[in-house]
Amino acid sequence: MVRFACLMGCFCALLTSALAQTAANAIDAEGHQWWQHAVFYEIYPRSFADSNHDGVGDLNGITSKLDYLKDLGVDAIWITPCFPSPQVDFGYDVSDYENIDPMYGTLADFDALVSEGRKRGIRIILDFVVNHSSDQHKWFLDSKSSRTAEHRDWYIWRDGKGPEEPPNNWISEFGGSAWKFDATTSQYYYHYFYAEQPDLNWRNPAVKDAMFDVERWWYKRGVSGFRLDAVDTLFEDPNLHDNPALPGKNAYGDPLQEKIYNTKLPEVHEVLRGLRQVADGSGAVLIGETWTKDVSELRKYYGDHSDELQMPMDLMFTKLKFSAPVFREHIAGVDGAGGWPVYVISNHDIVRSCDRYGDGQHDDEIAKVMAALYLTLRGTPIMYYGEEIGMKTTPPTRKEDVKDPIGRTGWPKEKGRDGERTPMQWDKSANAGFSTATPWLPVPPTYKTHNVADESKDPDSILEFYKRVLKLRHTSKALLDGGYQALNENDPDVLSYLRTYNDDVVLVALNMSGSPKKVNFQLKHNGFSSAKSLVSTGKSSAKGDEVSLGPYGVFIGQLIRAENH
C-alpha cells in the first residue's frame, strides 16, 4: 500500500531549530545552514595528489584538484590530519596542533588552499584529534619527564597493580594492554590507541583550555569546521574499574571485553557542548566520528538541546547488508531521530563501499545504486575520495608490505587499512597520475579501468553518474530540504521513497536485486499524472503508474501533478 503523508511537521521543527542559531552562521532565507546543503568529501592527504614528486600526496596537490572537486559537486573537503606528526598512525598522532607537517607543505600552502577553495565555494574542514596526542608532542615529553612536571596531569598516569602489572585490564583498540610502563617515573600511562598516542586527560581544565584554543586558532585561519576524531574515548573511569570480559579474542589475540569503563562516558557530552560553543562563534560545523550501536546512541550526540554535534556521522550505515528492507528500516530510524542525518558509505578505516556491497559482477551498477541512495536522502552526505570512480580496496598480499601498524600486529586476520588508502586514480598513466615518484602505497590494478580521465569521457561511468546526481541534489528543493517518506514498505527488492518540498515531489526507486523489476506506485490514485525521469540508469523508466527498473537499476523522477489536483 502506498502512503503519501504530509511531511511539513518535521520540516517546521527543523526550521525552528535552525533559526535559533547565531547570525554568524551562513543561513538561507528559510533557516537552513550551509552544512545542510553542502556535500562533504573526505580526503586522505597522503593519497590524493602529489605535487612535489615524493610519492606522498600534499596540500598543493589538493589545491591543484579543486576544479575537479567543484565540477564533481563538492562543497566542503575534510582533510584527515595534516599536522606535524611522527606518522605512526599516519597523522592521527599529532605532535603540534597548530602547524602543517612539512611532508604536506606549509601554513602558507594551507592558507592558499583555503583561499583557492573560497573562490570556488569549497570550504575546508580539518580533523581534530582530541582524544590523544603523539608521544612526541611537547606536552607529553614534559609530562613524562618527572612526576612533578607542569604537564604531568595532562595525560593519564597511574601506578601498576603490582610488579609488571598494569593498573587494570583495559585493552588498546590496536592490540595489547592500554597501559605502557615508563621507566623514567616508574608509572604507566594510558593509551586507547597505539602506545605512541597517549590519551589526553580531559578532566584537567588546562587540557580543555589548550584544546579549545587550538580550535579557535584554526577558525581564525579560515577553517569551516572539524571532524572530531574518536570522541567516544575522551573519558575513562577515574577509579579504573576493570572492563567485564566477553567470550572470544580479537585479531591481536587479546580477550574481548565490554568497554564500559573507558568508552562513551557521559562526560564526553560536556566537552562536545564546549567545543560547539566555540564553533558557533565562527559559524563552524562539528562532525563526529560517532560509532554508535543504535539510533538512540546516535541521537545523544546532537545534544539534548541541539547543542553538541551538528553532524554526528551515521556510521551504522556502513555496516548494513545490501538489502532493501535492511536499509529501509535503518533510514526510518535515523530520519526520525530528530536531528539532521549524516550519511557515510566509506572512509579511511573501513573496506571501501564498492567491495562491501559489490557482488563481483555488477559492482559498477551497485556503486550507482548506493550513490543514488545516500545522495538523495534527507541529510548531508560525506563522500570518500575515489568512491566516485568505483575505487576498490586493495590490501597488501604480504605482511612485509603492510604500512599500517595494526596490519603487522594483526596479520593475517587484520591486514590493516592500507587497502582503502591507496592513491587516487586520476588516469591510466604511470602511478595512475597520482605522482611521478613511486607512491607510498601501490596503485591498485583497477586504475586502468576506473580512473577520472577515462570515466569523465564515458557517460555511463560511475563518475558521470555521481556528477548527475550531485547536480540534481544541488538544484532540487525536494532533495535539499524536502521530507522523507518511505514507499512500498513491504517490497523485498526495491527501495523507494519520496522527497517532498511543498509541491515539489521527487520519487527515488532503487532496485537492490539482480533481476528486472516493475513497481506500481499508484501515482494517479495519489493525484499525480506521471513521473518524469531526472536521473536513471540502464533501461529504467516510468510509464503511467509503473516504474520499470533494470537489474540494480536506479530511477529518480519528478512527480507531475494531475491537472484536476
**502 three-class SS:** coil
Range list of H helices, 338-382: 353-357, 363-376
Burial 90-109 (b: 16+ CB within 10 A, else e): bbbbbbbbeebbebbbeeeb
Annotated catalytic residue 199: no
> Do residues 540 and 553 lie in contact, with contact meaning Cβ atoms separated by under 8 Å?
yes
Q: Nearest approach, Cβ of 404 to ligand GLC (angstroms)?
A: 9
101 vs 229, which CB is nearer to ligand GLC?
229
The helix or strand, by DSSP H or E, that contains position 88, with its residue range, turns out to be: none
92 binds ligand GLC (CB under 6 A): yes
Q: Nearest approach, Cβ of 330 to ligand GLC (angstroms)?
A: 22
348 vs 450, which CB is nearer to ligand GLC?
348
Query: First and final CA of the chain: distance in angstroms?
Result: 21
425, 395, 421, 420: which is closest to 408 by C-alpha? 395
**287 three-class SS:** strand
Q: Nearest approach, Cβ of 408 to ligand GLC (angstroms)?
A: 14
32 vs 348, which CB is nearer to ligand GLC?
348
Q: Please identify which of the residues 229, 314, 355, 455 carries the catalytic annotation.
A: 229
206, 203, 208, 263: which is closest to 231 by C-alpha? 263
129 vs 207, which CB is nearer to ligand GLC?
129
Rounded Cα distance, 367 and 390, in Å: 7
Please select the residue that binds ligand GLC; options are 182, 349, 464, 489, rule is CB under 6 A.
349
Is the preceding peptide bond at 238 cis, omega within 30 degrees of 0? Answer: no
Q: Nearest approach, Cβ of 191 to ligand GLC (angstroms)?
A: 10
97 binds ligand GLC (CB under 6 A): no
388, 243, 283, 220: which is closest to 35 by C-alpha? 283
Please select the residue that binds ligand GLC; options are 89, 232, 236, 418, rule is CB under 6 A.
89
Which position's Cβ is nearest ligand GLC?
92
Rounded Cα distance, 306 and 253, in Å: 41
Q: If you ran DSSP here, which 8-state letter would residue 171 be given?
A: B
97 vs 484, which CB is nearer to ligand GLC?
97
Q: Please identify which of the residues 89, 101, 135, 289 carries the catalytic annotation.
A: 289
The phi, psi pair for 39, rounded to 5°, reads: -105, 125
Q: Nearest approach, Cβ of 83 to ligand GLC (angstroms)?
A: 12
132 vs 468, which CB is nearer to ligand GLC?
132
Q: What nine digits make up the cell of 431? A: 602511478
Q: Nearest approach, Cβ of 260 to ligand GLC (angstroms)?
A: 19
254 vs 427, which CB is nearer to ligand GLC?
254
Residues in region 116-155 near ligand GLC by CB under 6 A: 129
Q: Nearest approach, Cβ of 348 to ligand GLC (angstroms)?
A: 6
Binding track over 187-206 against ligand GLC, x by CB under 6 A = ------x-------------
The helix or strand, by DSSP H or E, that contains position 511, with its residue range, turns out to be: strand 504-511
Q: Name the burial class of residue 222, with classes exposed (0-12), middle (13-18) and buried (19+) by CB atoms within 10 angstroms of its CB.
A: middle
512, 535, 521, 525: which is closest to 485 by C-alpha? 521
Kindly give the pairing relationship between strand 380-384 and strand 342-344.
Answer: parallel
77 vs 377, which CB is nearer to ligand GLC?
77
Q: How many residues bind ligand GLC (CB under 6 A)?
A: 9
Q: Nearest approach, Cβ of 406 to ligand GLC (angstroms)?
A: 8
Q: What nine digits make up the cell of 424? A: 587516487
- Nearest 5°: the CA angle 129, 263, 267 is 80
> Do residues 537 and 465 lie in contact, with contact meaning Cβ atoms separated by under 8 Å?
yes
Which residue in this structure is represented by grid cell 573511569?
A: 237
Rounded Cα distance, 64 and 120, in Å: 12
Q: What nine digits make up the cell of 469? A: 546526481
Q: Provide the residue type at 283 as one letter.
A: G
Q: Nearest approach, Cβ of 287 to ligand GLC (angstroms)?
A: 12
Residues in region 222-241 near ligand GLC by CB under 6 A: 229-230
**68 three-class SS:** helix
> Do residues 528 and 559 lie in contact, with contact meaning Cβ atoms separated by under 8 Å?
yes
Q: Nearest approach, Cβ of 433 to ligand GLC (angstroms)?
A: 26
Q: Nearest approach, Cβ of 132 to ligand GLC (angstroms)?
A: 7
Kindly give the pairing relationship between strand 225-229 and strand 285-288.
Answer: parallel
132 vs 392, which CB is nearer to ligand GLC?
132
41 vs 447, which CB is nearer to ligand GLC?
41
Please select the residue that binds ligand GLC; options are 75, 135, 289, 364, rule is CB under 6 A.
289
Annotated catalytic residue 335: no
What's the CA dihedral at 199, 295, 6, 525 to 10 degrees?
130
77 binds ligand GLC (CB under 6 A): no
349 vs 464, which CB is nearer to ligand GLC?
349
Binding residues (CB under 6 A) for ligand GLC: these are 89, 92, 129, 193, 229-230, 289, 348-349
Q: Which residues are catalytic?
A: 229, 289
